[in-house]
Structure 1
Amino acid sequence: MRILAPFLLVVALALLAWASTAFLHLNLLFGVIIPYAAFALFVVGFAIRVMRWGASAVPFRITTTCGQQKSLPWVRQAKLDNPSSYAGVVGRMLLEVLFFRSLFRNSKAEKRGEKLGYGSAKWLWLGALAFHWSMLIIVVRHFRLFLDPVPEFIGVIEGADSVLQIGIPLLYITDVVIVGALTFLFLRRVVLPRIRFVSLSIDYFPLFLLLGIALTGIVLRYGVRVDVTGVKEVAMGLVSFSPVAPEGIEPLLFVHLFLVCALIVYFPWSKLMHAPGVFFSPTRNLANNSRMVRHVNPWNYDVKVHTYAEYEQDFGEKMRKVGLPLDSE
C-alpha cells in the first residue's frame, strides 16, 4: 500500500483533470483558476518555510568537515572540505548545489561475512544528478511559452538538447534522461530491501507525480497534435494577469498542467524543499573559523554561581567535623 496508494492518487488526479475538461468542459477552472491558486499556495508555503528556517537560531558553528581545519602555517588546509573563509564556503556550496559533492562522496555500508565493509554508491549520485539537471533544462525550455520575445539562450539550450537530431519533432535528450532517472530512483526504493524498508508513501508520491508530468509532456510533444499557438496564448495570459479561457485545446494538456499544479502545491510542505533548504543549512553555509573567532552563544544568560569560598562559608563547620581540609584555614 505504501507504493500503490500514491500511484493511485496520481492516476486519480490525472483522470479528474481529463474527465473534467473532456466531458464537463471546465477549461477555465483547470486552465486559469487552479494554476493561479496553486501558484499562490506555493508562494505562501515557500515563504513560511523559509521564514521559519531564517528565524531559527544557530548558537554555534556546526559545520560538517571532511578535511584538515586551518591551523598551523605548515599544515595544509582543505579549503573546500573545511573552509575557514566565506570564499571557501561559496566554493563548497557551489559544488554541493551544482554537482552534489557530498552525495558523490557517499558510501554504502554492508556486511561482508563477519565484517562491515564500505563500497561505492556512485549510481545514486549519477541518477540524482541526471534527474536534477534534466529537470532544470526542461523548466528553462518551458520559458519559451511564457516569454515574448523568446531569449536567445533558450534557443541555444534547445539546440543543445536536441543535438542528436532524432525524429520529427526532434527528440530532446532530457526527455529520455529524466524518465530513466526517475525510473532508476523508483526501482532503487523497490529493489533494495533496506531502502524499501524505510521508504514511505511520501517518498513514492513525488516520484509518481514527476513521472506523470514527464510522461504526459512527452506524449503531448511526440504523440498528440497540440495547438502550440493556443497553448502559448494561454501561458502568456497567465503570466500577464490577462487570462483567456482556453478553448479547443487537447484535454491531455490540462492533465499535464494539473499535475504540475499539484506538484507546486505539494512542494513547500514536502521533502522536495531540500532544494532551497541547502542554503539555510548551518552545516553548509558556515565557515569553520572557531580557532580564529570567538563565537558567543546568543542563548546564553547570566547564571548565578556558587564559588568554593562561599561553599566553605556555608558548609565549613560540617566539613571540619568530618576532617576535610579547608582553604580558609
Structure 2
Amino acid sequence: MGIGLAFIAVLGLIIFAYIGTDILGLDSLFAIVFPYAAVLIFIIGFIYRVVKWGKSPVPFRIPTTAGQQFSLPWIKYSKIDNPATGWGVALRMFFEIAFFRSLFRNTKAEILNGKLYIGSNKWLWLGAIAFHYSFLIILIRHLRFFVAQTPWCVSIIDSVDSFWQIGLPMLYMTDIIIAAALLYLLGRRIFNPHVKYISLPSDYFPLFLIIGIVTTGILMRYFARVDITSIKELALGLAYLKPTVPEGIGSLFYIHLFLVSVLFAYFPFSKLMHMGGVFLSPTRNLANNNRMKRHVNPWDYPVKHRHYEEYEDEFREKMKKAGIPVEKE
C-alpha cells in the first residue's frame, strides 16, 4: 500500500508538470516560481529543524559505545568507537560522515531452520555510500550551469567522471552507479520482508522522487536531446536573481526541474534531514567520559526534603486507624 501511494504521488507530480508546461504553457511558473519557492522552503525549513534540534535538552551524556571504554592508561581503549576526548569525537564524526562507519560495522540477524545466524550487511553499506557519493558528484557537476565560467575543480571532477569516454555525449560513471544504487535500495524495501514490513510511504516517496530526477536527467543527456545553452541561460538567471525563460527548452527539462524543486521543498520535513541531524546526534557528538568527569544536570533544582517524623506527625491518626505501626503515640 505504501509503495503504491508513493509511486502514484510521484507519477502525479510528473503528469502535473507535463500538463502545466506542454499543454497550459505555464513555463514561468515551473521555471521561476517553483524553484525559488522550493529553495526558500529548503533554507527556512533546514534552519528551523537544526535550531529546534539544537534547543532540545541533553542533560546526560548518551554516546553510543561500541568498543572498550577508557579506564586505566595501560588498558587499550577504542578511540573511535568509544571516544573519551574531543579529538576522538571529531575522528569518529569524520569516519561516520565520510565513510558511514557504523553502517559498515552493522550486522544482520536471521533465523533459518530454527537457528539464529548473524552476519555482515556490507551490501547495504555499499549501496548507501555509492548513492550518496554519486549524488554529491552529480550535484557538483551541475554547478557549471550556475556560473558563467566552469570552475577548474568542477572540470576535473567532470573529466574523472567521464574518463571512459564512451559514446557522445560521454558516459558518466556516476549515472550508472546512482541508478544501480537506487534500484538496490528500492529492491531492498520491496523484496526484504523485514524491511518491507516497517517501510512507510515516507520511505518510498523520496526514493521514487530521486529515481524520477535521475531518470529524466539520463533521458535528457543520452536520449532526448535538449538545448543546453537555453538551460544554462535559465540557470544563470535564477542564480543571479534575474530569471528569464528561454524558448524551446522542452517539457522534459521542466519535469526534471519540478521534481528537483519538490525534493528541495520536501527535504526539511522528511527523513532526508539526517544530513543535518547527524551533526546534532548526542549518541555521536559527545565524548564518553562519564567515569572521568562528573556531569551535573543543569536543570537540577533544590528539592525540599521531608523527614519521616514530619510525615508521621501529619498522618499519625490515619496510620493508627489503618493499623500501621507508628513510632510516636
TM-score normalised by length of structure 1:
0.93
Which residue does 2:302 correspond to in 1?
302
Counterparts of 1:122-271 in structure 2 under 5 Å?
Answer: 122-271=122-271
Letter of the 2:205 counterpart: F
Instruction: State the alpha-carbon separation in 1 of the partners of residues 163 and 18 from structure 2.
Output: 33
Letter of the 1:16 counterpart: F
Instruction: State the alpha-carbon separation in 1 of the partners of residues 289 and 113 from structure 2.
Output: 43
Q: How big is each residue's C-alpha offset from its partner over 1:128-171, in whole Å with a ceiling of 9 and x where there is no partner? A: 01100100000010011112222100011011111111111000
Q: Secondary structure at the match of 1:32?
A: helix
Higher mean C-alpha displacement, 159-168 vs 254-263: 159-168
Q: How big is each residue's C-alpha offset from its partner over 1:49-76, in whole Å with a ceiling of 9 and x where there is no partner? A: 1111010010010000111111111110
Which residue does 1:8 correspond to in 2?
8
Letter of the 2:6 counterpart: P
Letter of the 1:10 counterpart: V
Quote how far apart the aligned CAs of 1:44 are.
Answer: 1.5
Quote how far apart the aligned CAs of 1:95 are.
Answer: 0.6
Which residue does 2:24 correspond to in 1?
24
Letter of the 2:68 counterpart: Q
Aligned length: 325
Quote how far apart the aligned CAs of 1:245 are.
Answer: 2.2
Instruction: State the alpha-carbon separation in 2 of the partners of residues 256 and 220 from structure 1.
Output: 9
Matched, 1:93 2:93: yes
Instruction: State the alpha-carbon separation in 1 of the partners of residues 69 and 327 from structure 2.
Output: 45
Q: What RMSD, in angstroms, separates the aligned Cα atoms of the two structures?
A: 2.1
Q: Secondary structure at the match of 2:20?
A: helix
Contact 1:27 1:247 in 2 (8 A): no
Instruction: State the alpha-carbon separation in 2 of the partners of residues 307 and 292 from structure 1.
Output: 34
Contact 1:66 1:81 in 2 (8 A): yes
- Seen in structure 2, the aligned counterparts of structure 1 residues 33 and 312 have a Cα distance that, compared at 3 Å, is closer
Contact 1:28 1:246 in 2 (8 A): no
Contact 1:65 1:82 in 2 (8 A): yes
Contact 2:141 2:157 in 1 (8 A): yes
Quote how far apart the aligned CAs of 1:299 are.
Answer: 2.2
Contact 1:31 1:246 in 2 (8 A): no
Letter of the 1:205 counterpart: F
Quote how far apart the aligned CAs of 1:248 are.
Answer: 1.5
Instruction: State the alpha-carbon separation in 1 of the partners of residues 113 and 54 from structure 2.
Output: 47
Letter of the 1:164 counterpart: W
Q: How big is each residue's C-alpha offset from its partner over 1:6-47, in whole Å with a ceiling of 9 and x where there is no partner? A: 112111111211222112221111000110111111111111
Q: Secondary structure at the match of 1:300?
A: coil
Contact 1:237 1:244 in 2 (8 A): yes
Contact 2:61 2:286 in 1 (8 A): yes
Instruction: State the alpha-carbon separation in 2 of the partners of residues 275 and 121 from structure 1.
Output: 22
Contact 1:27 1:246 in 2 (8 A): no
Instruction: State the alpha-carbon separation in 2 of the partners of residues 45 and 38 from structure 1.
Output: 10
Letter of the 2:236 counterpart: M
Higher mean C-alpha displacement, 7-16 vs 30-39: 7-16
Counterparts of 1:278-297 in structure 2 under 5 Å?
Answer: 278-297=278-297
Letter of the 1:221 counterpart: R
Letter of the 1:84 counterpart: A
- Seen in structure 2, the aligned counterparts of structure 1 residues 127 and 313 have a Cα distance that, compared at 3 Å, is same
Instruction: State the alpha-carbon separation in 2 of the partners of residues 36 and 251 from structure 1.
Output: 19
Instruction: State the alpha-carbon separation in 2 of the partners of residues 311 and 35 from structure 1.
Output: 67
Instruction: State the alpha-carbon separation in 1 of the partners of residues 294 and 313 from structure 2.
Output: 35
TM-score normalised by length of structure 2:
0.93
Q: How big is each residue's C-alpha offset from its partner over 1:205-224, in whole Å with a ceiling of 9 and x where there is no partner? A: 11100000000000111112
Q: Secondary structure at the match of 1:108?
A: strand
Instruction: State the alpha-carbon separation in 2 of the partners of residues 17 and 137 from structure 1.
Output: 26
- Seen in structure 2, the aligned counterparts of structure 1 residues 314 and 23 have a Cα distance that, compared at 3 Å, is closer
Q: How big is each residue's C-alpha offset from its partner over 1:284-306, in whole Å with a ceiling of 9 and x where there is no partner? A: 01111112221111221111113
Instruction: State the alpha-carbon separation in 1 of the partners of residues 154 and 13 from structure 2.
Output: 31
Instruction: State the alpha-carbon separation in 2 of the partners of residues 164 and 219 from structure 1.
Output: 20
Which residue does 2:67 correspond to in 1?
67
Q: How big is each residue's C-alpha offset from its partner over 1:223-253, in whole Å with a ceiling of 9 and x where there is no partner? A: 1221111111111111111111232112100
Instruction: State the alpha-carbon separation in 2 of the partners of residues 9 and 325 from structure 1.
Output: 73
Letter of the 2:255 counterpart: V
Quote how far apart the aligned CAs of 1:179 are.
Answer: 0.7
Instruction: State the alpha-carbon separation in 2 of the partners of residues 35 and 246 from structure 1.
Output: 16
Quote how far apart the aligned CAs of 1:266 are.
Answer: 0.8
Instruction: State the alpha-carbon separation in 1 of the partners of residues 21 and 101 from structure 2.
Output: 44
Instruction: State the alpha-carbon separation in 2 of the partners of residues 294 and 182 from structure 1.
Output: 46
* Runs (5+) with no aligned partner, structure 2: none
